[in-house]
Amino acid sequence: MPKKIIVVGGVAGGASAAARARRLSEDTEIILIERDEYISFANCGLPYHIGGTITDRQRLLVQTPSKMQQRFNIDVRIRQEVISIDRAKKNITIFDKNTEHKYTENYDRLILSPGATPFVPPIPGIDHPAIMTLRNMHDMDQINAWISEQKPKKAVVIGGGYIGLEMSEALHQRSIAVTLIEMAPQVMNALDPEMATLLHQELTEKGVKLQLNNAATGFEPIEQGIQVLLKHGNPIQAELVILAIGVKPENQLAKKCGLDIGRCGGVVVNEYMQTSDPNIYAVGDVVEVNHLVSHQQTLLPLAGPANRQGRIAADHIFGRNSRYQQSQGTGICKIFDLTAAMTGMNEKALRASQMEYEKIYLNDNDHAGYYPGATPIELKVLFHPKTGQLLGAQAVGNKGIDKRIDVLALAIRAQLTVFDLEHAELAYAPPYGSAKDIINYAGFVAVNWIRGDSLLCHVQDVLDKDEQTMLLDIRTKTEYKNGTIPNAINIPLNKLREQIDQLDKSKKIIVFCKSGLRAHIACRILMQKGFDCRNLSGGYGTYMLVTEAYQKDPNKPIPPATKAMASKSAG
C-alpha cells in the first residue's frame, strides 16, 4: 500500500487518477500538482464558449482546487510545475510560480498526466500576437479578449481537425469571416476523403472559404492586422489566426528522466499504464496506446480514454487487476448542421497497414421516412471479407450519427461481425429509427456480399471499366435525366424484366441506383437470369462523393447538383 502518490497534471487523466486513488484509500497522502490554475476543465467545450453556445464560462470548470481538496482530501497545488524527476531517489523537483522557489517532494508512486501541447511550426512571423492556439482556459480567454477588443472581421484557421472545424464554426457565430487552411486535400483526416466531401460542402455553404492542399509559409504584420503567406496562391489578410495544426505529447519530463519513448513520440506504457519505471505511471495524451484493430502503437488524444487510463493507473497502484483494453479512436465532431463520427480504422489506415478489408456504403434516414423531419445518414462500414469482422465505420449526417457510431464502436470492441449486425435489435419508433435500421442494412449488404448473393463493386471499378463492361442505371427516367454516370444506359427497375433482352450476356454489368437498394433487387433478377453483374456500393450518391473527393482541384467550388445527401425514398 503506497503511503504517498503524486499526480503531475490534472484535467481528464490526472484528476481522474487522483480522485480514484482517494476512493480506494483514505490513508494515502495524495498530491496533485498543476502548473496552470485550473485542475479540471472541459477542454472539449472551449470552442463552444468562444462561439457563444455555452454562455457561462464557469460551467467549463469541472472541478476546482478548493472543491477537490474538500471532497477528496487531496493536496492540490496550482501554478506549480514539476521540472525534473530523480528516479533513483524517487523524488521530484517542483518550481512554485507563486513564490518563484524550487523544492522537492518524494513519492512512492508517481502518475504523469502532462497532456499534449499544440504544434506550432517554426515559420517566419509565428510569434505575432494575433496568432493563437486553443488548448486551455487561458487560451480561450485570450481569444475571447482579442475578439472583444480588436473586433476582427476576418480570421484564418490553420488545420482542419477537431479544433480547426469547431473554431471555424465558433468564429462564424461571432460574425467573423473564416478561411480554413489545410495541408491535406481534406478536412477531418480521421475520415476517408469521400466522406469528408460532405463536410467540404457544408463548410462552403456556410461561407467558410476552404484552402485545401495548401499551407501557411509565413506571417507578416500589416496595418490592418496580419498577412498569411501561402504555399500556393495569394496571401490572405486577417485580424486573427488560430493555429489548430495538431498536438504532440508533452514528453520532455519523461525524456529527461530516461523513461522509454515510443516511435510516435508518446511515453511507452503497459496495460496497467506503467512506464518503463514500475513506480511511475503515465496517462492521457502523453502516452502511446495499442490500437484495438491494427494492434499497432499510435497516438489518440481523446478525453474518454484519458479518464479510463487515470482510473486504471490508480487501480493498479492499489493492487487491483485493471487493464487498459486498447483504444479504437472513436470520435465525433459537429460541423455547423452536420455531424461526423468515426470508430476503428479508416480505409487509408487499413491500406497503409496492408490489412485485408472490404467496404460498403449506405444511405438511409435517421428515422422512419414517413415521420416528419427525417434526414439522411451516409454510412461507410469496413470489414474483413472472409470473417466479416468489423474493422471500422464512419458516418455523416444531420441527426442520429452518435447513436449509429456508438453501436458500431461497441460492436467492434465486442469483436462482433457483420453477421451480428443483421440481428441487432435496436430501439424503434417512427420518431427515432426504422424497423430495419441502417445498422441492420449494413449487416444485410455485407453478408449478401460475403455469401455471394449480391456481388459488389466500387467507384474505382466504374472509372477503370473496359469495353466489356456496361453501366446500367435502374433509377427512374426522371432521375436519369437529372444526372447519371457517363455512358450509362437506363432501364428503370420496374421495367427490367420486360426489357432484359436489351442487355448483352457477354458483358459484365455494373448496376446502380441512388444508394444501392434498388440495384440489389436488379442484381438478384439478373444473376438468376445468367448475367454477370455487380452492384455499385452506395450507388450514384457515393459515385458523386468519391469523384468529388478525388478531383484534381480540391478548391473547385462544389455545384449544388453534386449533393449526395438525399432521402431513402429515392434509393
3-state helix, strand, coil in the chain (%, to 5): 30, 25, 40
- CA 8, distance to chain mean position in Å, is 27
Contact of 173 with 51, CB cutoff 8 Å: yes
Does residue 156 come out as left (phi exceeding 0), alpha (psi in the -120 to 50 range) or beta? Answer: beta
Nearest partner of 140 among 78, 51, 39, judged by Cα: 51
d(Cα 309, Cα 267) in Å, to the nearest integer? Answer: 13
d(Cα 338, Cα 50) in Å, to the nearest integer? Answer: 19
d(Cα 306, Cα 189) in Å, to the nearest integer? Answer: 21
Neighbouring CB atoms inside 10 A of 294's CB total 20
Contact of 195 with 392, CB cutoff 8 Å: no
Neighbouring CB atoms inside 10 A of 547's CB total 16
| β-bridge mates for residue 109, sequence order | 5
80-86 sheet: strands from edge to edge: 80-86, 91-96, 101-106
Does residue 141 come out as left (phi exceeding 0), alpha (psi in the -120 to 50 range) or beta? Answer: alpha
Block residue for cell numbers 457477354: 506
Is 513 among the catalytic positions?
no
In three-state secondary structure terms, 197 is helix
CA distance between the termini of the chain:
63
Contact of 224 with 95, CB cutoff 8 Å: no
Residue 274 is given by DSSP the state B
Neighbouring CB atoms inside 10 A of 478's CB total 8
Contact of 50 with 144, CB cutoff 8 Å: yes
The burial class, CB within 10 Å (0-12 / 13-18 / 19+), for 266 is buried
Determine phi and psi for 322, rounding to 5 degrees: -85, 140
Q: Show the cell assigned to 539.
A: 450507388
Determine phi and psi for 102, rounding to 5 degrees: -105, 150
d(Cα 381, Cα 149) in Å, to the nearest integer? Answer: 47
Contact of 377 with 404, CB cutoff 8 Å: yes
d(Cα 231, Cα 112) in Å, to the nearest integer? Answer: 39
Instruction: Look up residue 4 and give its amino acid.
Output: K
| β-bridge mates for residue 154, sequence order | 177
Nearest partner of 252 among 459, 81, 21, judged by Cα: 81
Determine phi and psi for 539, rounding to 5 degrees: 65, -155
Nearest partner of 205 among 568, 564, 563, 566, judged by Cα: 563
Catalytic residues: 44
